[in-house]
Structure 1
């Protein structure tokens, strides 16, 4: 009986102790939280989206933080902070942007709560109860589809464009003023934003800036004509490629949808002067109808006609024409998408993971072997004879033990000295330079030297990182990392970091007014000559020209200095860079770590950045700098930093080419457009292997830009394909029809220009019908031609 009482008392003590260490959740049930996630509740897996948060307070004045757990994919997780201040009886609406949700994660875990309320700062751990929405429940859009946001005073004006989107794997979402976030991250799920006689000027300045910055980060803006564009477009007006100043009538033949013309002969248009760098994409006679210009990493397209006025809006073929226009037909600049529909699925393993290798002082195998040899063969006999001589052999037990302790302590001190003194930080960045702006990816990793909380702050640019690792547990994001955005800098807190542990944050980054390379090169008779000027504020320790699989090392180049180029080429023309693939070996030395880091950075720059932008098939100039694009610091720590950034810029080289040429498969730039189906993996193995679902696809191959000059005559196109579960056909750009390719090898010599667009694109349609193995080998091409002088 006594034993039972003792057991009962012990269990009660354990229960009371357990309750005592649980975080206190105070009763603040007078707070109600309501959320609206995404756009009409829709989000895209792995893409940023806005959350509208309404807080109602039926009790005393309340000031505190709301934490929103998120997981961008299976190995990235954290929480985002929203600070609120709601008076007694008040109701306020806030907005924040989350870096992405993973459909896979939130379906696999039985998550009952992902929204948490704290009184005061979340760091005080004073969690409060509340009623209302406890979890985000978005609807997920097709990850393979494109997304179009529409800003219009009356969406019925563009009903034909909405019908067009349903048949072109394009999801249309009509936006309202309240839906526009004040942060460009919230617009991340859109590939296009279309503006039809909508007063942008009535939006908040932060909302207008968000749209502009979304374009700078790779978005595509389509702006229709308006009677008063300066008053209508607000701060966007200064960036439009055309400044209309007069209204005239234009012939509508350019709207032809084969074989029919529109039923109206003229429409009113607004035209004016073109900005520097603007290009005319579509004309009506000599009048510009559609113009475009690059803006940062994105594009701004502008039409001289209203997108929704009559009679255009009621024309049944309008949607068909718009879908085939260059505004939608060109590549959608999806931010760093690769390896599947969620951009984060491969980003850690193929880019950020190498950042977690830290160099440390260590003994080599030879040094340790020599040490053991001295210890066993020299020190032991020496001690024996020395102690025997003085007749002190009884002291051997503590002398040998003491020497072993001293040796072990010395070995430990040498290996651990870097980790004991201060935390270490690695930074890696890959960036594309365009229009004096840098857009790309950044990874920041620190190695702790003590346990506790670590707060990282980021400045000198914009960094929308997500915390993650291949070994992290993501059930509760706020336990791993908490993100906060300020006006001038952003920060992330990693709570309860263990001794000698790593934490990583990685993702999109950008910097405006960063500078660029001034490239003045010409190519003639396999000779590349000219000058390159460095207008960046960074010193480059290595500068390289990359064309196809060939690289030309130019040496170092400091900020503000120039370098003269005089290089012999192996071929007549230059093409886009060809990545040989990524290495997954485990590094065995500090030098091996550095070599693998650069290898993966080069691979990532091509796969995540170059291959997902509208650059054409152009070579690049890239360099390595130890200067950080995004500045990272650990609060209260004097950390040891090591940074490396790769910055590249496409090269538009003046070429004077003559004679015959051959373009082999690796010199084509290729990508795949999904008509129906899905791409599991765009780089399943070798260069020409992809994993595809059953469906229909357009495989696009682009000629090197230097051969698209109107002087090239193409004589022979050879196409080779493999496999039995796919049918192939070649697009005739002149007729819009497809030529079947029934034989595994086809040589075309007649009317070859019909199969090459004026932009230098060759399109092969793939129809995959066989169930089972998704692996498909893409067709290989070779083309022969001649350039006359």
Structure 2
């Protein structure tokens, strides 16, 4: 035995120790080798356009994902975010092994940090629990919105709009983003990162229809589209032939550059011909002309389209020193002025109005008090005297101990059954907004709510939608993005969008906001306007796709009622007119919704109409830059209702109680002067020599000690104007400030009365028109004042 043990120690022990030593030497290399072969996804992301986006506006999230697991993956790319109400967005994706794939989705513009969002890939679908790890890249967004006036440029020459950088010294805050054609999205919400889009010398005729419709919808909601001309205008305008102010025609050499040189305050290089595009004005007004239209503007929905006859990337204009002032003049026609910002701070959850409206479920009615009282009285009578007397008669009073509980249960079941009679089936209602362009197109959005009696998993799908958002529910405790796993979800598909919820309690209401983008076939409000010197007679004809009730014009803080208009019917409203028509979302502590639908003392039959109008006017997604629908443009509104089932709940169509708002801006700033309606021109500050200067709110300026020069760019007319009237917003006599107008004919400043609502310039109107085709004014202050610059009312002339 000892010999065997000794032999084992002598032979096998050294071998075992050698093997153990080799294992220990190799052990440190194992984690490194494992790290090299770790399976997962490599991720890169871009938020907005070149990382530029606006807070309070939706934008594009572009993800580049490379699958390094060694096998093909199929599932959902999930973006979880917390804007005050945590939720997720899921986009289906297939990731072949070792192949970079691009996935895009629409996300809200907000301040992002590592704590309020996460990006992940769930194999098999959102909430499957099979999350594939991210092994390279940052799986969350970081960033904040840009406050510049962002200009997207799609052009043959990437330096086309470098001229805008030279306007920074004049108080503008432009940020130019050079884009490729394929950078433009098919979802108009993603264009919310841009304030203006410039197209120059690019062929658009073969663009996908989804991209064209997205740009159109963006303009309807307040975007500004610039289509420039020259020799390439016809191909640039091909996709937007019915949208541009000037129909594509031919080309010509500009014979006179007098107006360009006057505005630019610098002569153009001699001997260099300038090619301009030509064509007929088909919509809007000409804002500059010199033999041919040089620029023209068309209002379209809440946005605008600017036509420019020349190619800004071609000489002699490309290097001309007067270019910045020329572009400044043209951009005023689409509402771009110095120091325009579009930033909003904090969380971006701004669906509070929709939350309130959709919680009011018209088809869910509480049981009638009379019925419940009758059942209660019957129960009391049965449980006490009647049952007692019956049992006493049959000498069975000891049965009361079990008969009374049984009777209580039976009565409770009866009361519950009667009271829940309208809560046994899925019910739905919605409020919809149709923002009309004026030529039959419309941008559509809606809020929808469903009542589910049984709870569980709820999915509401919207065919043809490009985005949907689950709204707040009754969950009081929010767990942030870490606790999300498919429970509150936006699901994007090729044919639409859906909102999904899991673990929904019985008898619950779930709500969602949905956007559909631009579509034709919705009609418009046709208008005819007459002016009698102090009133506007506005005739509105309902050419929309629905019979409308409560048609009104919202203007100057008043809801002017026209009444109910069936399709094809017309109605007229008489509006006092003192110049400067405007619409504001909130009037003090009131609202247009409460003006049109005052709160009743009893049953509120128009709660949804009131709330929908206020939601639309205060919705930042309909804004040009800041706040609600453009504050300088009156609005025509009307309402329709129907029971159309337009979405599905858990795969089945359900009828829906719908209220629809139809809204179309009424642009009086370019009204027909020849027809007797005075146009209104807004001022543009050209020189600020104030020692102190600031904007308080609603164009109220606070300034001190100095001079402020401003001008009114005049729409182009064939015939001379016969009068100019200065309209004050708040007439007041200052003892430390004076206002004056430049008489170009005499070369002198003339005083202007400041304490009157209106002041007609005393001289011939043409004597006040400068070579730049403007009316120039000056404000001088010694000390501190608060003042709103007046507007200019035009009289006489014929639009080209």
**Cα distance change, pair 588–188 in 1 and its aligned pair in 2 (3 A):** closer
Distance across 2 between alignment mates of 1:527 and 1:230: 42
Counterpart of 1:245? 250
3-state SS of paired residue (1:172) = strand
Distance across 2 between alignment mates of 1:597 and 1:271: 49
Question: Pick from 264, 276, 286: which aligns with 1:280?
Answer: 286
Counterpart of 1:601? 612
Distance across 1 between alignment mates of 2:180 and 2:677: 56
Distance across 2 between alignment mates of 1:471 and 1:731: 60
Counterpart of 1:436? 440
Question: C-alpha displacement at 1:405, in angstroms?
Answer: 2.5
Residue 58 (structure 2) pairs with residue 31 (structure 1): no
**Cα distance change, pair 747–437 in 1 and its aligned pair in 2 (3 A):** closer
Residue 89 (structure 2) pairs with residue 79 (structure 1): yes
Distance across 2 between alignment mates of 1:625 and 1:786: 42
Question: Pick from 636, 639, 658: which aligns with 1:643?
Answer: 658
Question: Pick from 489, 496, 507: which aligns with 2:503?
Answer: 496
**Cα distance change, pair 342–690 in 1 and its aligned pair in 2 (3 A):** farther
Question: C-alpha displacement at 1:245, in angstroms?
Answer: 0.8
Distance across 2 between alignment mates of 1:378 and 1:99: 61
Equivalences for 1:165-564 in 2 at 5 Å?
Answer: 165=168, 167-177=171-181, 179-200=183-204, 207=211, 210-232=214-236, 235-236=239-240, 239-240=243-244, 241-256=246-261, 260-264=265-269, 267-274=273-280, 276-284=282-290, 286-295=291-300, 297-326=302-331, 330=335, 341=344, 345=348, 347-359=350-362, 360-364=364-368, 368=372, 372=376, 376=380, 380-419=384-423, 421-434=424-437, 435-459=439-463, 462-469=465-472, 473=478, 475-476=480-481, 479-506=486-513, 508-517=515-524, 519=526, 521=528, 523=530, 534-546=542-554, 548=556, 551=559, 556-558=564-566, 561-563=567-569
3-state SS of paired residue (2:569) = strand
1:356-398 CA deviation, whole Å, 9 max, x = no partner? 2224232355665565556557863344444434433333333
Q: Does the 8 Å CA contact 1:443/1:505 hold for their aligned counterparts?
A: yes
Q: Does the 8 Å CA contact 2:469/2:499 hold for their aligned counterparts?
A: no
Higher-Rg structure is 2
Report the more deviating stretch, 371-380 or 160-169. 371-380
3-state SS of paired residue (1:600) = helix
Counterpart of 2:77? 67
Report the more deviating stretch, 230-239 or 184-193. 230-239
Question: Pick from 102, 127, 138: which aligns with 2:110?
Answer: 102
Output the aligned Cα RMSD.
Answer: 5.5
Q: Does the 8 Å CA contact 1:423/1:637 hold for their aligned counterparts?
A: no
Counterpart of 2:648? 633
Question: C-alpha displacement at 1:607, in angstroms?
Answer: 4.0
1:588-620 CA deviation, whole Å, 9 max, x = no partner? 999856422221222234444598556964452
Equivalences for 1:563-712 in 2 at 5 Å?
Answer: 563=569, 565=571, 569=574, 571=576, 580=587, 581-582=590-591, 592=603, 594-608=605-619, 609=622, 617-618=633-634, 620-626=636-642, 631-637=646-652, 639-650=654-665
Residue 178 (structure 2) pairs with residue 162 (structure 1): no
**Cα distance change, pair 30–408 in 1 and its aligned pair in 2 (3 A):** closer
Distance across 1 between alignment mates of 2:694 and 2:137: 34
Report the more deviating stretch, 426-435 or 50-59. 50-59
Distance across 2 between alignment mates of 1:229 and 1:671: 29
Question: C-alpha displacement at 1:243, in angstroms?
Answer: 0.8
Counterpart of 2:34? none
Q: Does the 8 Å CA contact 1:282/1:291 hold for their aligned counterparts?
A: yes
Calculate the TM-score normalised by the size of structure 2.
Answer: 0.72
**Cα distance change, pair 483–470 in 1 and its aligned pair in 2 (3 A):** closer
1:147-187 CA deviation, whole Å, 9 max, x = no partner? 11122343345432233257412222122355333433332
**Cα distance change, pair 354–322 in 1 and its aligned pair in 2 (3 A):** same
3-state SS of paired residue (2:662) = strand
Counterpart of 1:3? none
Q: Does the 8 Å CA contact 1:728/1:741 hold for their aligned counterparts?
A: no
Question: C-alpha displacement at 1:192, in angstroms?
Answer: 0.5
Counterpart of 2:31? none
Question: C-alpha displacement at 1:110, in angstroms?
Answer: 2.4
3-state SS of paired residue (2:265) = coil
**Cα distance change, pair 226–329 in 1 and its aligned pair in 2 (3 A):** closer
Question: C-alpha displacement at 1:633, in angstroms?
Answer: 1.5
1:94-145 CA deviation, whole Å, 9 max, x = no partner? 2413231320xx34x625x7111133433644322232234243543334x3
3-state SS of paired residue (2:651) = coil
Calculate the TM-score normalised by the size of structure 1.
Answer: 0.73
Gaps of 5+ in 1: 1-26, 683-687, 703-708, 771-775
Distance across 2 between alignment mates of 1:506 and 1:698: 46
Distance across 2 between alignment mates of 1:644 and 1:701: 42
Distance across 1 between alignment mates of 2:394 and 2:674: 90
Distance across 1 between alignment mates of 2:664 and 2:425: 36
Q: Does the 8 Å CA contact 2:542/2:570 hold for their aligned counterparts?
A: no
Gaps of 5+ in 2: 1-36, 714-719
Counterpart of 1:17? none
Question: C-alpha displacement at 1:294, in angstroms?
Answer: 4.3
Distance across 2 between alignment mates of 1:597 and 1:655: 36
Q: Does the 8 Å CA contact 2:302/2:630 hold for their aligned counterparts?
A: no
3-state SS of paired residue (1:602) = helix
Residue 61 (structure 2) pairs with residue 51 (structure 1): yes
Question: C-alpha displacement at 1:283, in angstroms?
Answer: 0.9
**Cα distance change, pair 640–784 in 1 and its aligned pair in 2 (3 A):** closer
**Cα distance change, pair 228–711 in 1 and its aligned pair in 2 (3 A):** closer
**Cα distance change, pair 44–498 in 1 and its aligned pair in 2 (3 A):** same
Distance across 2 between alignment mates of 1:763 and 1:372: 78
**Cα distance change, pair 352–510 in 1 and its aligned pair in 2 (3 A):** farther
Q: Does the 8 Å CA contact 1:38/1:138 hold for their aligned counterparts?
A: no
Distance across 1 between alignment mates of 2:460 and 2:728: 55
Distance across 2 between alignment mates of 1:306 and 1:783: 32
3-state SS of paired residue (1:458) = strand
Q: Does the 8 Å CA contact 1:576/1:669 hold for their aligned counterparts?
A: no
Distance across 1 between alignment mates of 2:56 and 2:393: 76
1:197-234 CA deviation, whole Å, 9 max, x = no partner? 34556866655554444335432111222424344555
Number of equivalenced pairs = 712
Q: Does the 8 Å CA contact 2:150/2:175 hold for their aligned counterparts?
A: yes
